[in-house]
Amino acid sequence: MTETIQTKVLIIGGGPGGYVAGIRCGQLGLDTVLVEGDRLGGTCLIRGCIPSKAMIHAAERFATMAAAVGKGVHGISLSAAPKLNLAETVKWKETVVDKLNSGVGALLKRAKVKVVEGWAVFSDAKTCTVKTKDGETTIKAEYVILATGSEAVALPHIPFGGPVISSTEALSLPELPKKLAVVGAGYIGLELGFAFRKFGCDVTVVEAQDRILPLYDRQLTTPVAQSLEKAGIKVMLGAKAQGYKNGKLAVEDKDGKTIEIAADNLLVTVGRKPRTAGWGLEAMGLEMSGKFVKVDDTCRTAMKNVFAIGDLVGEPMLEHKAAMQGEVVAEIIAGHKRRFNPAAIPAVCFTDPEIVTAGLTLEEAEAQKIDVSSSMFPLSANGRALSMDAGEGFIRVVARKDDKRIVGIQAVGQHISELSGEFAMAIEMAATLEDIAGIIHAHPTMSEAFFEASLRGLGHAIHI
């Protein structure tokens, strides 16, 4: 059956950028159609952020129980080691995903957004054909929002398939591999590497560069590197994966020697790329900026009334960036004056310990010729952190020297991700060190470390 739909707004992709755009369009009274080729929620909800954090949470619980066997920890002990049924853990993870997926569908329905399930292919900038289970549907729109997301990058000489997996397959393994090799020491590889190690898997990480988490400075990554060593995760730096065959990964180490690593599964986490193929990008007359679709600060493309958001338009490839862009574009289409120009987009690395960054680092500020200073407060001097065995790490504040305005905040520590909102808010609201120092932070909380770091920047920290 062939159907033709005429709509005000057409959204391609039901991930965090697309579905937020759809909901906001509906709230603003815009006739909206959203096309999704898989499940509502996109990579973050279905295959990435949410399921990975669920697995990380389960792994942490398992490791805590395992540590209590025998002599025990803090007076708590178990007489027998815990047992893992990974299939049941994955099943529980899927209940979390399913609940959120259903929630997105309900929100879109309430906003009166029509959802078309199928793969869209554009014939021109405002017309696409969707292959659905019931036949083809042609959709014509006045405005188009492209939110097609991204996909995992494979190694050219080690394609995905069988025991060679991406993060998507890693989150749905039916049983725990005895030995796991991870190629790539970025945030995805290390997050999952820690989780599998806590489940009891033998983990080796192979990284081509000379350090882990190369997007972060060494001061932030040092506690993570120490935690990797403590956990028994082997890390090979300056090493290149050569090939995988018969359960063994061939690696050229930093000295040029080839060694083999036994691995039941090979997890490749060398990056992600925008999903630009297969939906008719070439028929839309858009300009590109490298591998990304080029947009301005209103997310407009080179084609009139065509917008692009999220991973499709560049770094950072983060859910919260895409969601905010979706909201901005919906309001622009409704006639509001908006632009996407955030002062800070917080980023979180859910390793052990976690890393949070918002705004500029000291080096980035100096590169922009901003005269800044930084002040740091260690979590080892924070009562709440110590009471949770989370005393490793710190919070660092970067502020202008002239007016003490905060331009960047970085932190590393257990549970530190929960402060990312306060960090971003401080920068977005143009707070000064005096502003933060003048806010009473509840005791005992880890947020006091942010307060103390700001006090230290003013020269009078209390607890150090």
Is 443 annotated in the active site?
A: yes
Residue whose token pair is 């679709």: 293
Among the residues of 76-141, which ranges form H helices? 86-110
User: CB-based burial of residue 190 (10 Å sphere; 0-12 exposed, 13-18 middle, 19+ buried)?
Assistant: buried
Q: Tokens at residue 124, please?
A: 């021109």
User: CB-based burial of residue 16 (10 Å sphere; 0-12 exposed, 13-18 middle, 19+ buried)?
Assistant: buried
Q: Which of 391, 398, 451, 388 is nearest to 427 (CA)?
A: 398
Helix (H) / strand (E) element for 229: namely: helix 218-231
Q: How far apart are CA 433 and CA 443, in angstroms?
A: 19
Q: How far apart are CA 373 and CA 359, in angstroms?
A: 14
Q: Which of 316, 289, 311 is nearest to 215 (CA)?
A: 316
With a CB cutoff of 8 Å and minimum separation 6, the contacts of 229 are 235
Q: How far apart are CA 215 and CA 34, in angstroms?
A: 34
With a CB cutoff of 8 Å and minimum separation 6, the contacts of 367 are none
Q: How far apart are CA 412 and CA 392, in angstroms?
A: 8
CB 308 within 8 A of CB 301: yes
Going by DSSP bridges, is the β-strand pair 234-237/202-207 parallel, antiparallel, or unpaired? Answer: parallel
Q: How far apart are CA 130 and CA 369, in angstroms?
A: 50
Catalytic residue among 157, 336, 415, 443: 443
CB 241 within 8 A of CB 251: yes
For 146-202, give the DSSP string.
E---EEEPPBTTB-SBTTEE-HHHHTT-SS--SEEEEE--SHHHHHHHHHHHHTT-E
**Residues annotated catalytic, as ranges:** 443
